[in-house]
Amino acid sequence: MEQTQISTQMRVQGEAAKKAAKRVATASTEEKNKALSLIADELETRETFILEANAKDLEAGRKNGLSSALLDRLTLDSGRIAGMADGCRQIASLEDPIGETIESWTRPNGLKLESVRVPLGVIGMIYEARPNVTADAAALALKTGNGVLLRGSSSAFRSNQAVMDAIWEALAKTSLPKEAVQLASDTSREAAATMFQMNDYLDVLIPRGGANLIKTVVDQSTVPVLETGVGNCHIFIDDSAVADKAVQIAINAKTQRPSVCNAAETLLVHEAWLEAHGEALVHALLAHGVTIRGDASVQKLHGDVEPAADEDWNTEYLDMIVSMKTVKSTEEAIEHINMFTTYHSEAILTESEENKRMFFQQIDAAALYHNASTRFTDGFEFGFGAEIGVSTQKLHARGPMGLKAITSYKYLIHGDGQIK
């Protein structure tokens, strides 16, 4: 397709989303919740159909040499489809943020002011090859009275289309316009780039993916951007950390789903803890199939530990690989994290209140953990039903972005004839 045709097609979809979003913005909570519950049902009803489409994407992905991390992200199964449906139901069960009075006060002149939560309008989203994001983003957008124009990865197109078919089928049974949720029908990078300039139709653009995507969108978009980010997540095991608990957390954060952005990539270990329990940790990691790249002290613990190079501290493996570094103190761990953090999720495992306080105070990241796995940086786990992305910037939202993150507010001023 010619560039002008691509732009026209994207604009047609953007315009349709904008028109439909106006209706969704005024929908009642009952209308929106009914739609979400029907979407959940339809996703489950169409499981076979969605899995067939997904199998075709996976087959093409394997032929195109997608990495194991990307293939894992792309993979759907019954459990993951059930997770998508659960997310929709959880979002339906959450309080409707739209119309909520955030604050109210009265001025000395008798003017009554209130700030009231409103939708953003239409959200444009460019995202990775994870088909569950299609359902998550649609559900969050609908509940917040927003329209959404979704541009998923070309390698997930069949799966995304199958999920969209379920969403459209469900919306057709409701009073809400199905056009409020759009999946870009063109999967080219040119079509994605058109979204950067669609200020007439998009109120915000959310790039969800790797550093290159984020940089391209931030540099080139005239539509306001809500950034997500990569996750070079650390776990610091302090000298007072309880051994069993620390080993279990490290194993979970590294191996439970290594392909996602909240998986741990570097373990920083206090030298005293390493001496006492390092062998147990290294054995457990190796037994789970993790490749360890460690400094000299870690290498001494087992012949299979590979030497870590400088670039390891900066690497988001998204794979069964972890880097391990010995530190002398909490201060040294904080210094290392502050040098290599991607502002996503960082954890300290310690029994010391003072070291926890220092860690929480001196590290700047979207989510800081004490004695828990970084894998919890997730909208469902935070109780938001799902997330539209994990923001690693501070404006206008941070961490897993649920319902409130995709709203704005307006002031309503109630007067009684006041003049200035």
Ligand X SMILES: N[C@@H](CCC(=O)OP(=O)(O)O)C(=O)O
CB of 152 to ligand X, least distance (A): 12
297 interacts with, out of ligand X, ligand NDP, none, CB within 5 to 8 A per kind = none
What is the token pair recorded at 164? Answer: 């969209």
262 interacts with, out of ligand NDP, ligand X, none, CB within 5 to 8 A per kind = ligand X
Q: Name which of 57 and 316 has its Cβ closer to ligand NDP.
A: 316
129 interacts with, out of ligand NDP, ligand X, none, CB within 5 to 8 A per kind = ligand NDP
Longest dimension (CA), the chain: 82
Distance CA(138)–CA(135), nearest Å, equals 5
CB of 335 to ligand X, least distance (A): 27
Per DSSP, what are the bridge partners of residue 122? Answer: 147
Contact indicator for 347, 236 with CB cutoff of 8 Å: yes
126 interacts with, out of ligand NDP, ligand X, none, CB within 5 to 8 A per kind = ligand NDP
83 interacts with, out of ligand X, ligand NDP, none, CB within 5 to 8 A per kind = none
Contact indicator for 249, 267 with CB cutoff of 8 Å: no
CB of 228 to ligand NDP, least distance (A): 4
Starting at the edge strand found earlier in the chain, the sheet holding 112-119 runs: 101-106, 112-119, 407-414
The 3 state secondary structure assigned to 241-287 is CCHHHHHHHHHHHHHCCCCCCCCEEEEEEEHHHHHHHHHHHHHHHHH
Q: Name which of 299 and 377 has its Cβ closer to ligand NDP.
A: 377
Q: Name which of 208 and 277 has its Cβ closer to ligand NDP.
A: 208
139: buried, middle or exposed (CB in 10 Å: 19+, 13-18, 0-12)? buried
CB of 420 to ligand X, least distance (A): 48
Q: Name which of 295 and 387 has its Cβ closer to ligand X.
A: 387
Q: Please provide the DSSP assignment of 54-103 as one string.
A: HHHHHHHHHHTT--HHHHHHH---HHHHHHHHHHHHHHHHSPP-TT-EEE
Starting at the edge strand found earlier in the chain, the sheet holding 122-127 runs: 181-183, 147-151, 122-127, 204-208
CB of 229 to ligand X, least distance (A): 10
388 interacts with, out of ligand X, ligand NDP, none, CB within 5 to 8 A per kind = none
CB of 213 to ligand X, least distance (A): 12
Return residues touching ligand X (CB under 6 A). Answer: 73, 128, 130, 260-262, 375, 378, 387, 390
Q: Name which of 40 and 388 has its Cβ closer to ligand X.
A: 388
Q: Name which of 326 and 345 has its Cβ closer to ligand X.
A: 345
Q: Which long-range contacts (CB under 8 A, 24 or more apart) does 2-5 make?
A: 3/190
254 interacts with, out of ligand X, ligand NDP, none, CB within 5 to 8 A per kind = none
Q: Name which of 346 and 378 has its Cβ closer to ligand X.
A: 378
Contact indicator for 98, 118 with CB cutoff of 8 Å: yes
Starting at the edge strand found earlier in the chain, the sheet holding 264-270 runs: 306-307, 291-294, 321-327, 264-270, 233-237, 345-349, 367-370
What residues contact 401, with CB distance under 8 A and at least 6 apart? 206, 226, 379, 387, 388, 389, 390, 391
DSSP element (H, E) containing 292: strand 291-294
CB of 163 to ligand X, least distance (A): 15
Return residues touching ligand NDP (CB under 6 A). Answer: 70, 126-129, 152-155, 187, 189, 192-193, 208-210, 212-213, 216, 228-231, 261, 316, 389-390, 392
CB of 91 to ligand X, least distance (A): 14
277 interacts with, out of ligand NDP, ligand X, none, CB within 5 to 8 A per kind = none
Q: Name which of 10 and 260 has its Cβ closer to ligand X.
A: 260
CB of 193 to ligand NDP, least distance (A): 6
316 interacts with, out of ligand X, ligand NDP, none, CB within 5 to 8 A per kind = ligand NDP
Q: Which long-range contacts (CB under 8 A, 24 or more apart) does 225-228 make?
A: 226/389, 226/391, 226/393, 226/396, 226/397, 226/401, 226/405, 227/391, 227/392, 227/393, 228/389, 228/390, 228/391, 228/392
Q: Name which of 240 and 315 has its Cβ closer to ligand NDP.
A: 315
153 interacts with, out of ligand X, ligand NDP, none, CB within 5 to 8 A per kind = ligand NDP
CB of 262 to ligand X, least distance (A): 5
Q: Name which of 112 and 189 has its Cβ closer to ligand NDP.
A: 189
